[in-house]
Chains A and B, each alone.
Chain A
């Protein structure tokens, strides 16, 4: 059964985040978090490790978020979700949603062990990795999900030399009921996916591509455009894996019909972090993207 797609006009107007946060001007996370919490709703308990979100959520004694939240140590996000769930079970509470929101460093690097453990145990919660592709809160250092070629504070001249870690694929290999790749530039796709997965069993994993003005090097006003460009170039794909079934969604699904990708050069040239990528490297990445999409086209034929 296909659920009706949410539109801007049908999106609930209630907010769970107060204005006046400490997030940077034009923060992509603010958009994804705001819409994500709308989908999760008021009967939700949150877990947050150190990250940009810790700052966004406010400094004691003021919280920017209207939902209950447990701040936990960097490596323990998913295990803390397990702990909250265990208490809810002990209390006979089957209605409250448990949701963890961690950054890409907190997920792909230091938090991966706990996340894998919770996923293997099949603990029933939603894990959100908001991927701004670096340790932005500590001043833009490389993480496991920083893409190849990106300049960061500790890949200062050559850019990162290694590939981005494919965390959604790692999580899909845990045979989860639901894995999704989303983007802050497509908030309604994120919203609908959260509604869709809520009643599925076990651990649900969301990966959200998050444009970051200071970390990526662009004028804050272009954040959504750049997030969209990542998808329209076929560089970052919106998809879901439901009980092992992979499916492109939203704009990525439409790209299969269009069969026309925007050249990835446009994405790279929109941000200063990629300034050291050579034309040869870009051509190489373009070929990888084209090959990946050939696969998608063939599958749809």
Chain B
């Protein structure tokens, strides 16, 4: 390293996503939504969003239908456990291995 482009002389961090890398790679099981059971999907209006509230990683969108950012979802399963209608199932990532390759 011949030249320095260091902005400052201190540990001065600026914010951005994915400090921990693509944390989706930590996931063992993937949350899969059943739109026939999901309350906002069924009513087609803003409702419930318990999965959004309790998601520790902020990867579930507050939308109809709710979507999961799989790049960062760690697969904790809190959304599945807290869903009042059991609309979310945690599915083994191995099942998606082929699908993801495509």
Contacts and interface: CB of A to CB of B under 8 A. Distances in A.
Contacts of B23: 19-21
A42 interface: no
Contacts of B20: 20-23, 58, 64
B27 to A, nearest CB: 8
Contact of B74 (A25, A35, A222): A25
Interface string A1-21: 000000011010101011111
B94 to A, nearest CB: 18
Given A8-B50, A8-B52, A21 B19 contact: yes
Interface in A199-240: 213, 219-225
Contacts of A222: 81
A63 B77 contact: no
Contacts of A187: 53-54
Q: Determine the main DSSP class of B at the interface with A.
A: loop
Given A63-B19, A221-B90, A19 B57 contact: yes
Given A19-B59, A58-B13, A25 B76 contact: yes
Interface string B9-51: 0011111111111110010000000000000000000111110
Interface in A35-81: 35, 58-66
A62 B13 contact: yes
A220 B56 CA distance: 11
Interface residues of A, number: 39
A59 B58 contact: no
B75 to A, nearest CB: 7
Given A18-B58, A23-B56, A63-B14, 18 more contacts: A9-B46, A18-B15, A19-B72, A20-B22, A21-B23, A22-B20, A26-B76, A26-B77, A35-B53, A58-B13, A60-B11, A60-B12, A61-B12, A187-B53, A220-B76, A221-B78, A221-B81, A224-B78
Interface of B: 11-23, 26, 46-50, 52-59, 62, 69, 71-72, 74-78, 80-82, 90
